[in-house]
Structure 1
């Protein structure tokens, strides 16, 4: 592991990351040729600048106002080793583009943030944010309601060219017309082999039923990850399941709650306990596992035989945003392989950018070979999405889940 990456990890521990609740147009070609490329990628060029959603689209002030309000999750961008107030890739973007970014880490939970901006969106008002980062299912909700702006691919040449193929057609945003991934996420099984006495933990069933793990198991408070992984464990398709399937998965976990097999449900605050062995095994996010493995080789992960739950955290422009072009300029900047690699080296989540692996190898060869950051064919094949839910289904399933975890 490189020294800069190690310092970043050490700093993240002291700054409270482990306790957080988580989360080209080709140069030299003509505009017409660029449009042909966009169409070939399944991402249609913008027509007349109409986003297709916002009938009273506000005037974009980007050309006159070189500012951008960007809301993201805590510690989800690289930070300078010696000065936590500096963000190297973001600072470089501001110098190169001349756009001043107001970067706000005010997304701690998808539903909480949705509740914060929903009244403004529903009233047709500007949220005060030009760019936001939400988990794919929540991004899909905004898109479905017409609360996201259609992106102009002419302003996104790097993103159009360098988005990895498997991210191009998302169920919540077919053709990627409204969003682009900031990072990919993976919910997997993690365990501390010292705490399990060398036993490999391979499945949700083992988490919930192995007596040797009793009282030392945790699962995530994110419904989609915990329930999706459990559905897969039961032989169900997380992308196509029924109400009965979901209820059966709830019952399976409830039995483990009642028997006290499960220690607790967590955000990514499971990290300290997994590191110490107080949690022997758990449902975990891949990026967290990578970080823990830097200093503790006893922390291991397993991709269940029935698959793991895969998703993305997506960038999108809210309806009525005043600086869409500036937001698109930032998205395009982060889809340069070198910049994407710098980001991935710090946040340790799945990188969606073609060419970033080679750039990441220049920073840290081990990170570039880590399937939890740059998935190999085996890991890609085992990834499954959680199906898109209607808002009524989302409410009903979240209510069942909240009762399960005691929220």
Structure 2
């Protein structure tokens, strides 16, 4: 999903004190087998972890679908730690028993942003136990040229006729959900009642069909979105924070804004497979990666947000400014984090999106 470019060995030497709690090397121990996304396990951090704890790390790069497939094939074995998205956990626990409950007495919760920790605990809850710890997050909100569209502060403001022909969004499920929250609905609270959710989708269908004349275009790839905003053809769009921050570096008038009704947020987690063999190593790895200095190294490299609440103090100045300006703790506390999606919901959404697209 993301690229990894390794820094020179000299940089590892210079940064080594930040990665480790102790200067002395620990004796070598059993390997920690991690299945994760590209970019989530920088080699510099793996080397420092091994030096500090004695645990060597074996990394397998994957994605949500492959993680589930590999763990199903081994009935939850083969790995000591996985990094699925939070909405891909509870269902596979209930159906296949692929993960084991987290022993939070072994997690340094003081390192973790409390709103993120609470959301992940709730969204991975199965029979009273939670199955994941937050690690990496991203959000979708608004990218706005504030010199041209100073009044846009929420998703629903993209529907304002005074900005006709100057707005853009995707015809994807985040638009349905973001608009829903902005217009006073709580889509996630309706997930358990398909009839109620369909009524909500019907309301979004009517709203978004009525707004079609105001939309410059429905963007469908990041390069297209960036060009629309750079050129001034579009003044405001729903988009990810990274797009907004990239454009802000080029034009200070353009920036990412978290909507007043709350940005939409995804979280990738740490989860322990049901038949993990090295639990001590797995818990040590989680705590190490969430240590502020180490989490900041990851964010400086990949620019994704981290659940480590003090990592902001170790970020590069430009990246720190982005998070401080766009996603401070009070904004994170209002994020609408994606919960697990019940079976059939995405099919309902797909039909609604098709109707909006086809309408004239």
Q: TM-score, normalised by structure 1?
A: 0.64
Task: From 113, 125, 139, give the equivalent of 1:164.
Answer: 113
More off after superposition, 263-272 vs 181-190: 263-272
1:234-286 C-alpha deviation (Å, 9 max, x unpaired): 111244233111332244334445x4826234365555325533554221122
* Structure 1 unaligned residues grouped into runs of 5+: 1-8, 12-26, 28-62, 79-86, 108-112
Q: Which residue of 1 aligns with 2:343?
A: 391
Task: From 61, 66, 89, give the equivalent of 2:31.
Answer: 66
Q: Secondary structure at the match of 1:391?
A: coil
Aligned pair in 2 of structure 1 residues 249, 294: CA closer, same or farther (>3 Å)? same
The within-5 A match list for 1:3-402 is 65-72=30-37, 74-76=38-40, 87-107=43-63, 113-114=64-65, 116-119=66-69, 121-122=71-72, 125-126=75-76, 129-145=79-95, 146-153=97-104, 155-156=106-107, 158=108, 160-170=109-119, 171-174=122-125, 177-193=130-146, 197=148, 199-208=150-159, 210=161, 212-214=163-165, 217-219=168-170, 221=172, 223=173, 225-241=174-190, 242-243=196-197, 244-256=199-211, 259=213, 261=215, 263-266=217-220, 268-269=222-223, 272-273=226-227, 276-277=230-231, 279-360=234-315, 363-364=316-317, 367=320, 370-371=323-324, 375-377=328-330, 379-380=331-332, 382-386=334-338, 388-397=340-349, 400-401=352-353
Find the aligned partners of 2:153 and 2:100 in 1 and give their Cα distance.
Answer: 42
Does the aligned pair in 2 maintain the 1:220–1:284 contact within 8 Å? no
* Structure 2 unaligned residues grouped into runs of 5+: 6-20, 22-27, 191-195
Q: TM-score, normalised by structure 2?
A: 0.72
Find the aligned partners of 2:351 and 2:67 in 1 and give their Cα distance.
Answer: 21
Q: Secondary structure at the match of 1:168?
A: helix
How large is the RMSD of aligned CA atoms in angstroms? 3.8
Q: Aligned pair count? A: 322
Find the aligned partners of 2:86 and 2:304 in 1 and give their Cα distance.
Answer: 15
More off after superposition, 366-375 vs 277-286: 366-375
Find the aligned partners of 2:226 and 2:242 in 1 and give their Cα distance.
Answer: 14
Find the aligned partners of 2:51 and 2:157 in 1 and give their Cα distance.
Answer: 51
Find the aligned partners of 1:350 and 1:219 in 2 and give their Cα distance.
Answer: 23
